[in-house]
Amino acid sequence: MNILVIGSGGREHSLCWAITKSDKVRNLYCTPGNGGIKDVATCVNIDVLDHSLVISFCKNNSIKLVVVGPEAPLVDGLADSLRGAGILTFGPSALAAQLEGSKGFTKDLCKKYNIPTAAYGRFLNAEDAKAFTKSKGVPIVIKADGLAAGKGVIIPETIEEALATIDDMFDGSFGEAGAEIVVEEFLVGEEASFFALCDGENIIPLVTAQDHKRLGEGDVGPNTGGMGAYSPAPIMTPHMIKRTMDEIIYPTVNAMAQEGHPYQGVLFAGLMITDKGPELIEYNCRFGDPECQVLMTRLKSDFVDGLLASAEGNLKNVQMEWKDEVAITVVMAANGYPGSYQQNTLIEGLGEARKMEGVEVFHAGTKIEGDKILAIGGRVLNVTALGTSVKDARDRAYAAIDKIKWNDGFCRKDIGWRAIEREK
């Protein structure tokens, strides 16, 4: 069959890489793709905001399945348009994608259906948000309600910083995403990422992961799109996985069906494991980035079987198998990220890095110019490795990074540090 993947990041490179392992795939396309995806798929340039153009491409190229990688096209309703045209699509409807598209929607759903999450308030003006914040104290979590590319969450440590953050959001620091904000209590615990495939009714839990959102080593500094990840997450024991399914995932999928928005696609729960157990931080309506990279590296099953079953409503007949090894990915980012950074800088040594056993290099913000690979984004490469332990996988990943020559990039040197401490 022919498949189209929507997206251009490291997540989409790893999705394409996993899809090409299936003998069911005849032609794989990706729009717009990147410098690495060109090795595993035919990259095409389609304006995904123009749904009619995407539909025309699918019909002209006999596309059987579309896999939507990023959240923005899903919130925009691309999956609805494709399904309306009779094209199988992996990804939720616009109404179901509200789980990511509106943090307030998700918080209200959790409250209505008793899904454990932090206490919160929703606000349309700074005065009410500030009053609520002063009554709760700090640290506190302030979120732009809409999509903000993974950066719309601020955790102020002082009241002054909190009040300034509220002003900034309402003044447009996150654009329309901050027209409404959510303020919620600060949960104490350890974060984990949990993924499940859904077909509107049936659910298959996938393996767990943990990512490093903060820019600096030791998990300090500003939030980013993610500086690295590993799988599995040691804190997600079989008991904790069962509690997560029973208390969070099943109730959410059932709630969405009851609300008339059945959820199809991957459901990504960002969790805080507290003294009380798992609590929901937020939902995403797509695979995490960079968590997807470690999940795809550990996957043994034919990924296309899971994608098709989710799109067709047939997950009850599918099982997913995983490698026992640990996977870790380290993000290489452009100097200056998450602020301003230089583009079109030269990257060399990628071939040597990929020759290492158990190593894959997934591209995010890259392009090909002649025979050169140039960095054009903030997060640029995901150096990913398998190992018998987190330490073993980490050592392989950093050994591969040592072979990459990119004077204008950096990475954190401590990805996986919590899990490695546990291994000791």
Q: Is-cis flag, bond preceding 32, omega within 30?
A: yes
How large is the average pLDDT for residues 290-315?
97
Structural domain includes residue 32: yes
**Parallel, antiparallel or unpaired: strands 277-284 and 203-205:** unpaired
- Whether residue 84 lies inside any domain: the answer is yes
CATH number where 53 lies = 3.40.50.20
Whole-angstrom Cα distance, residue 56 to residue 192? Answer: 40
Average pLDDT of span 284-310? 97
Same domain for 337 and 306, yes or no, is no
Let me know whether 306 and 342 are in one domain.
no
pLDDT in tens, 180-190: 999 999 999 99
Residue with tokens 């990924």: 303
Residue where the block lists tokens 């300090």? 220
Domain co-membership, 276 together with 335: no
Domain with 59 in it: 2-90
Tell me, rounded to whole angstroms, the distance of Cα 87 from its chain centroid: 24
The residue ranking higher by pLDDT, 152 or 42, is: 42
Quick one: 290 and 374 in the same domain? no
Of the candidates 375, 392, 382, the one whose C-alpha atom is nearest the C-alpha of residue 360 is 382
- DSSP secondary structure string, 168-213? HHHTTTTGGGGSSEEEEEPP-SEEEEEEEEEESS-EEE---BEE--
In a domain, residue 110? The reply is no
Q: How far apart are CA 246 and CA 259, in angstroms?
A: 19
**Domain-ending residue, one of 299, 317, 335:** 317
> Which pLDDT value is given to residue 223?
83
Last residue of a domain, one of 90, 105, 138: 90
In a domain, 145, yes or no: yes
261 belongs to a structural domain: yes
Spatial separation of the C-alpha atoms in residues 391 and 139, rounded to whole Å: 32
pLDDT at res. 422? 86
CATH code assigned at 243 = 3.30.470.20
Q: How far apart are CA 77 and CA 50, in angstroms?
A: 11
- pLDDT class for 152, splitting at 50, 70, 90? confident
How large is the angle between the packed helices 250-258 and 103-112, nearest 10 degrees? 100
Q: Across the chain, which distance is largest between two alpha carbons, in Å? A: 59
Q: What are phi and psi of 167, to 5 degrees?
A: -60, -45
DSSP state of 338: T
Distance of CA 307 to the CA centre of its chain: 17
- Measured in degrees and rounded to the nearest 5, phi and psi for residue 403 equal -90, -10
Q: Tell whether 165 and 237 lie within a shared domain.
A: no
pLDDT at residue 149 tops 80: no
Query: Is the domain of 414 the same as that of 313?
Result: no
Q: Which of 5-14, 149-158, 218-227 has the lowest mean pLDDT?
A: 149-158
Q: Judge whether 75 and 147 are in contact, CB under 8 Å.
A: yes
CB atoms within 10 A of CB 388: 11
Whether 198 contacts 253, CB under 8 Å: yes
Positive/negative CA dihedral, 171, 121, 285, 278: positive
Alpha carbons 157 and 75: distance in angstroms, whole number: 32
Residue 109 maps to a domain = no
pTM (predicted TM-score): 0.94
Q: Quick one: pLDDT at residue 423?
A: 82
Tokens standing for residue 219: 């998990």
Q: What is the CATH number of the domain that holds 414?
A: 3.90.600.10
The Cα 40–Cα 30 span in angstroms is 9
Q: Would 101 be classed as within a structural domain?
A: no
pLDDT tier at 424, thresholds 50, 70, 90: confident
**Within a domain: 119:** no
Q: What is the mean pLDDT of the chain?
A: 96
Do 300 and 335 lie in a common domain? no
pLDDT tens column, 311-328: 999 999 899 999 999 999
Same domain, 304 and 336: no
pLDDT at position 77: 98
Same structural domain, 206 and 265: yes
Number of domains in the chain: 4
Q: Are 202 and 310 part of one and the same domain?
A: yes
Give the model confidence (pLDDT) of 37-55 as tens digits.
999 999 999 999 999 999 9
Cβ partners under 8 Å of residue 86, min gap 6? none
**CATH number for position 173:** 3.30.1490.20
Amino acid identity of residue 338, one-letter, is P
Instruction: Please tell me whether residues 84 and 139 are part of one structural domain.
Output: no
Same domain, 221 and 307: yes
Q: Which of 69, 90, 111 is the last residue of a domain?
A: 90
